[in-house]
Structure 1
Amino acid sequence: MEFIKEEIEDMSYPEPSRIKHEDTEEQIEQMEVKQQHKLNDIKKLCDFKTQGTKAKMLHTCSRENLNKHMRVHTGEKPYTCSQCGKDFIFSSHLKKHLIVHSDERPHVCSLCGKSFSRLISFKRHQKTHDGVRDHVCSLCGKRFTRAAHLKRHQRIHTGEKPYKCSYCDKSFTQSVTLKSHERLHNGEKPYHCTQCEKSFKDAGGLKIHLRIHSGEKPFNCDQCGKDFISSSHLKQHLIVHSDEKPLVCSLCGKSFLRLNSFKLHQKTHDEVRDHVCCDCGKSFTKAGHLKRHLRIHTGEKPYKCSYCDKSFNQSGSLKSHERLHTGEKPYYCTQCGESFTHLSSLQTHIKKCCT
C-alpha cells in the first residue's frame, strides 16, 4: 500500500515517569507490553516500500504518525470540503483539493489552451494529445491513460461491484456512484446553488440546474431546432417526432407518448379541474394553465422582446415573435427541405403539399 507522508502529530505514548504515581511497576510493564503488541500488529498490516529517485527506502508506521496512517486502513475521512461535500483523510489533501474551487489554474496546455489547477491533472491531460494510453485491458484490448480507469473498466468483464449500499442490497462498480445513491436514503444534498436556495445530491444535478439561471441549452433537436438543458430532456422530446404512442385512452381512443400527458388528458374525462381562478372562477387541469390565465386579469407580460419594445404573457409567444427579427426558421420539411418560422406552418405545409 502506498504511503503518503503527512505532517507529524504528537501521538507518543506517555513515559513511565509521567504515569500517575498510583500505578505500580507491574501495571506500567503490562501497559507497555500491550502497546508494543498493538504496534507490532499494525506493522504487520502496513509495512511497505516506496520507490525513491535514487534508492529504495523502507518505511514502517511509527508511534508518531500511527494515528494518521490508521485512517488509510479504517477509511476514516474527517476533513470535509464545505463547497462540494467531498471527504479527505488528511488536512493537506483537503487543502490541495480546495484549489479546484478557486479560479487559480496555473498549468496551461500549449496545444489547446485548457488550464488546470494541479500539475498531475495537467500531465494526464497532455497524454490525450500525445495519444499515450499505456494501460491496456488484457481481455478486450481497450486502452486507458490512467491505471484507475483501467481498473474501473475491468469490472465490466468481471461483474465485480465492490461498493455496497449500507441501507439496501444494491451494489456499485464505483465509489462515487455508491455515495450518490446513499444520498437517496439519507437525504443529504451537499451541492448548493449560489443563486437560489435549491440543493442537490450530486454535482451533475447542480450543473444542469445552473443552466436554468444562465439560459444555456446545449442540447439541440435536429428535427425541429428546439433546445434543451440536458441530454435526458432531449431524449424525452425526440419521442414527439416518432410515431410511437403507447398510451391509449380507453374512453376516446386518443393516444399519447408520455404518461404525464396521458394522465392530464384523463382529467378532462373525469372533469377534474382542481386549479381554480379566484378572480373569475374558471378552472384548469394544470397549475401552469392557471398561472398563464391569471395574466389576463393582472395584465402582466413578463416576456420582453430583446429587439423591440413588445412584451408577451407567454415565453412561447416571445420566442415565436423574435424569429421575425432574426429570420430563424427552425422547422424543416423532411420531404422537400422547405423551412418555417412556426411549427403550425410546417404542419399545414405537410398536410397540403407533402401527403
Structure 2
Amino acid sequence: MEFIKEEIEDMSDPEPSRIKHEDTEEQIDQIEVMEQKHKLSEVEEKHDFKTQGTKAKKLHTCSQCGKSLQNQRNLNRHMRIHTGEKPYTCTQCGKSFNQASGLSVHLRIHSGEKPYNCVQCGKDFNSSSNLKKHLKVHSDERPYVCPVCGKSFSRPDSFKEHQKTHNEVRDHVCCDCGKSFITSSHLKQHQKIHTGEKPYKCSYCDKSFTVSGNLRTHERIHTGEKPYHCTHCGKRFKDATGLKIHLRIHSGEKPFNCDQCGTKFISSSHLKKHLKVHSGERPYLCSFCGKSYSRLDQFKLHQKTHNEVKDDVCLDCGKSFTTPDNLKQHQRIHTGEKPFKCSYCDKSFTLSGNLKSHERLHTGEKPYHCTWCEKSFRHLSSLNAHKKNCYK
C-alpha cells in the first residue's frame, strides 16, 4: 500500500530540514531535565522520599522480577506490568492503560493537543518521548543497521519492521479477506477499508480519511503549506511523495516502463495516463469540434483553443499561450536555453521530446509500429503520415 512508509512514525514523512547534532543533543538534554524535575516533584508530594542524606533509603523489592523501587506506591504501579492490570480507561474509545500518565498522553489523540514542539522544524507532538524519537531525524543518528542490505534506522521499532521485509514475516492477518501485513498498525489501517471507518475529519471541508497522514496532506490544500522543498531548484511540495517524484526530473530516473513502446516515466500515474494512447480509449469528447482525447488535461487545453483563452503571456515579446508549460518552452527562444543534452553527442535541445527523437538516431530505436504492414518508425508523426498512405 502506498501510504505505508518505510520508517513508520505517527509524526509523518521525512523531515524537510537538517540541523547540527549538537543542537539536537541540547534539546534532548532539556527534555530529560524537565522529565527528571517532574518525577522529583511527584516523589516529594508523596512524602516517601527521605531528604536527609544521613538516613538510608528504604527500598521496596518486586517479588516477581527482583527490581527495587523507592516507595510502596512505585512498587504498586510497577506490579501492574506483571498482573496486566490496566485501571485507567479512556471514556472515548475504551482503551486502557496501567498508568495515569499513559491515559493522559492518549487523550491528546482525541483532543488534538500537541504540547511538545520541535524547535528545528516546528513539528508538534503529543508526548516528550515522541519528540525525543523525532529529534534523531535531525541529528542523522541511525544506530540500527540492517546486516542484509545495510540500510540504517534511527529507531529500533522501525529497524525491526524493516527486518521483517527480508524474512517475509507477515504475521498480522485480516480476518475479512485474508490479506497479511508486517505490523499490527498496518493491519488496523487496512481493516478500515472493510469497516468504512474514516475517523480523521478535515477541519476545513467535509472530507474524512482512514489514515491521519492522509488528512495532514489533504489539509495542506486548504492552508497552502508546502513543507517539502527541492534543494536543486527550490520548488516546494505538500507531501514527501510529490518531492520524491520531482527529484527524478533532476536525476533522470524513470523507473516505470511501458511494455508496449518502451517509453519510460517518472511515476506510475504518468505511465497509467500514457497507456490510454495504446488502448485507443478516448473518453473526453470536445462538444465544439468532436475531437476526442485520452487524457483530461489534454482535453482541457484543447477547449482553451475554442475559448481563445491564452492567459500566459511572454514579457519579452507579448506572445500569449494557453498553458504555463508552453510559455516556458517559448521563453527558451529568448534565453537560448537548451537544457536537454544528448547522451551520445554534443547536441542540446529546448524540448525533451526533441531530445528523445534525436537519440533514436544513435540507438536505432523505432518504437512506433504500423498495425497494417508492421513497418516501424522513430517518430509518431512519421507513423501517422505513413498510415494515411498504407490504409489507402
Normalising by structure 2, we get a TM-score of 0.64
How many residue pairs align between the two structures? Answer: 314
Tell me which of 100, 105, 130 is aligned to 1:71: 105
SS of alignment partner, residue 9 of structure 1: helix
> Superposition pairs for residues 131-146 of structure 1, below 5 Å?
131-146=168-183
Distance 1:49 1:333 in 2: 78
The answer as to 2:342 corresponding to 1:305 is yes
Tell me which of 11, 34, 38 is aligned to 1:10: 38
Which stretch shows the higher mean deviation, 115-124 or 144-153? Answer: 115-124
Distance 1:123 1:354, change over 3 A: farther
Compare relative contact order (CA 8 Å, sep 6+) and give the higher one, 1 or 2. 2
Contact 1:331 1:342 in 2 (8 A): yes
Contact 2:141 2:154 in 1 (8 A): yes
The answer as to 2:124 corresponding to 1:87 is yes
Q: CA deviation at 1:180?
A: 2.0
Distance 1:312 1:101 in 2: 40
Greater Rg by CA: 1
SS of alignment partner, residue 301 of structure 2: helix
Normalising by structure 1, we get a TM-score of 0.69
Q: Give aligned-pair identity as a percent.
A: 68
Whichever residue aligns with residue 262 of structure 1, its letter is F
Q: Structure 1 regions of 5+ residues with no counterpart?
A: 1-5, 16-42
SS of alignment partner, residue 381 of structure 2: helix
Q: CA deviation at 1:147?
A: 1.6
Q: CA deviation at 1:121?
A: 2.3
Contact 1:88 1:94 in 2 (8 A): yes
Distance 2:84 2:302 in 1: 74
SS of alignment partner, residue 166 of structure 2: helix
Whichever residue aligns with residue 216 of structure 1, its letter is E
Distance 2:196 2:303 in 1: 44
Partner of 2:241: 204
Q: CA deviation at 1:208?
A: 1.9
Whichever residue aligns with residue 123 of structure 1, its letter is K
Distance 1:275 1:201 in 2: 25
Partner of 2:221: 184
Partner of 1:117: 154
Tell me which of 134, 146, 151 is aligned to 1:97: 134
Whichever residue aligns with residue 108 of structure 2, its letter is T
Distance 1:238 1:335, change over 3 A: same
The answer as to 2:185 corresponding to 1:148 is yes
Partner of 1:216: 253
The superposition leaves residues 317-337 of structure 1 with CA deviations (integer Å, 9 ceiling, x where unpaired) of 222212222333443556777
SS of alignment partner, residue 37 of structure 2: coil
The answer as to 2:225 corresponding to 1:225 is no
Q: Structure 2 regions of 5+ residues with no counterpart?
A: 1-31, 46-72, 89-98
Partner of 2:277: 240
The superposition leaves residues 182-215 of structure 1 with CA deviations (integer Å, 9 ceiling, x where unpaired) of 2233333332333333332222222222223323
